[in-house]
Amino acid sequence: MAPEALNFSFSQKSDIWSLGCIVLDMTSCSFMDGTEAMHLRKSLRQSPGSLKGILKTMEEKQIPDAETFRNLLPLMLQINPSDRITIKDVVHITFVSGSFKSSCISLTLHRQMLPVSFTDMLLAGNVASILEVMQNFSSWPEVQLRALKRFLKMPADQLGLPWPPELVEVVLTTMELHDRVLDIQLCACSLLLHLLGQALVLDPEAKVPCNQAITSTLLRCLRSHPEEEQLLVMVYSLLAITTTQESVSEELQNAGLLDHILEHLHSSLQRRDVCVSGLGLLWALLLDAVIVNKGPLEEVPDLISQVLATYPADAEMAEASCAVFWLLSLLGCIKEQQFEQVVALLLQSVRLCQDRVRLVNSAYQGLASLVKVSELAAFKVVVQEEGGSGLSLIKETYQLHRDDPEVVENVAMLLVHLASYEEILPELVSSGMKALVQEIKERFTSSQVSDSRAFNKPGLPPGGSPQPGCTTSGGLE
């Protein structure tokens, strides 16, 4: 024995005994009839002296695991507290032998619980050794769960980031084999999100591979546990992050994911995290995707209105909603009778949290898209209401983000579309938009206001109403 070996306590001897029972159960299940197996197990538990007889029976029947049992037998018979053997010795004899691996299938039919102390010993190695254990004990849910938890505690530099293919493959296989075990699904999704987060920290521009195995496993997870909120949120988040390819987006649409999201948004208004993650996944599905059937999307604006009414002060919810509104406007999925309501919600969202750049960009892109096709939407932007007009909000946004080219470009795009309506021009001029437009042109020569005819025609004087005899068709200059 190794010099660093430790004495086994009584409980450890019990663990060795249990391992012997596991081997016996494993072999008898596959190679003995029910009466023989019952007799042998009873003999094993009642009389240590019968162990050698059991081994003889196994050898006579030419059971493949007889050699494993033979190696384990001396350990099972050692009951002297002064004997010095290590857990590692038992693990090596019991779990590394080829005969044990060959009998893993029979263990799924009839087996005892693997002692926790031995499971922990098996999972004490590096990523490669843990993956080997998971593959050899694929049908043991308790081993899979402890392995997943072990990975979650590992430092990032040990996980093989940015996106370790072999680890991900084993995790997905585990999810499929144990799709009804909620704890495994939760832990596996947590690990996948952990891997994604660590990978993106190392490389924000990294693209996560997304293939059919990942999407099909996550969809299966949704079907197995449709009402588990924590799992639903994690799966939605994973799908939103990994859905980066048009083919994958179409595959998810064909699988009914869009209907699934809308159904849960309808039924989960009081579950805040489900709403946020659902809107995030909806945005990912719509971005750059080919939408064949736009019918289901026409109900989304009213649905988002309900969500925002339920969470009026939630900045994250508003940001996710603005992003979806913008894509819906581009797709033509917002009906004319919904224009005013959507414009009001976009302006409300910007007022709520102007420091969130993504929210601001999405909101102004959505507003510009609606104003471009509807004078009614344009009037809704400029009309004075209780919270102030949209024009005053535009000036506030510009001052706050005047050094952000993307925000300024989106503000300019909205102003270009507003200025295309002759009846809107007086409001633009009286609100001092001429000076703002001139500043944008001077600071950002590539801005849309520099190329727009509406801002390059002679006409209105600076900062005031049209002079007598001057029409509004001349633009802001």
Mean local confidence (pLDDT), 393-409: 94
The type of residue at 75 is L
End-to-end CA distance of the chain: 94
Residue 296 pLDDT greater than 90, yes or no: no
Task: Give the Cα separation of 358 and 346 in Å (integer).
Answer: 13
Task: Give the Cα separation of 200 and 192 in Å (integer).
Answer: 12
How confident is residue 303, by pLDDT bands cut at 50, 70 and 90? Answer: very high
pLDDT of residue 346: 97
pLDDT (tens digit, 9 = 90+) per residue, 407-431? 999 999 999 999 999 899 888 888 8
Query: Mean pLDDT score of the chain, rounded to an integer?
Result: 76
By three-state DSSP, how is residue 385 classified?
coil
Residue 348 pLDDT greater than 80, yes or no: yes
pLDDT (tens digit, 9 = 90+) per residue, 439-476? 888 887 766 665 555 555 444 444 433 333 333 334 55
For residue 221, what are the contacts with CB-CB under 8 A and spacing of at least 6?
175, 179, 185, 189, 231, 235
Helices 339-352, 315-331: crossing angle, 10 deg rounding: 140
Lowest mean pLDDT among 196-210, 308-322, 404-418, 457-471: 457-471
Lowest mean pLDDT among 249-253, 309-313, 319-323: 249-253
What φ, ψ does residue 84 adopt, rounded to 5°?
A: -115, 105
Residue 81 pLDDT greater than 70, yes or no: no
Mean local confidence (pLDDT), 358-379: 96
pLDDT of residue 244: 62
In SS3 terms, 241-262 reads as HHCCCHHHHHHHHHCCHHHHHH
Residue 253 pLDDT greater than 80, yes or no: no
Mean local confidence (pLDDT), 250-278: 88
Does this model's pTM top 0.85? My answer is: no
What φ, ψ does residue 384 adopt, rounded to 5°?
A: -80, 125
pLDDT (tens digit, 9 = 90+) per residue, 27-79? 444 444 556 555 655 655 555 445 556 556 666 666 555 565 555 555 554 44
By three-state DSSP, how is residue 272 classified?
helix
Query: For 454, how many CA atoms within 13 A lie in the half-sphere containing its CB?
Result: 22
CB 219 within 8 A of CB 209: no
The closest of 165, 211, 221, 158 to 189, measured between CA atoms, is 221
pLDDT of residue 323: 96
Mean local confidence (pLDDT), 222-232: 92
Task: Give the Cα separation of 321 and 349 in Å (integer).
Answer: 9
pLDDT of residue 79: 40
47 vs 436 pLDDT, higher one: 436
Helices 182-202, 212-224: crossing angle, 10 deg rounding: 140
Tokens representing 202?
């190392």
Q: With b meaning 16 or more CB within 10 Å and e meaning fewer, what string describes 449-460?
A: beebebbeeebb
How confident is residue 86, by pLDDT bands cut at 50, 70 and 90? Answer: very low
Residue 386 pLDDT greater than 60, yes or no: yes
pLDDT of residue 280: 94
Lowest mean pLDDT among 24-28, 56-60, 175-179, 180-184: 24-28
Residue 259 pLDDT greater than 90, yes or no: no
pLDDT of residue 78: 47
How confident is residue 240, by pLDDT bands cut at 50, 70 and 90? Answer: confident
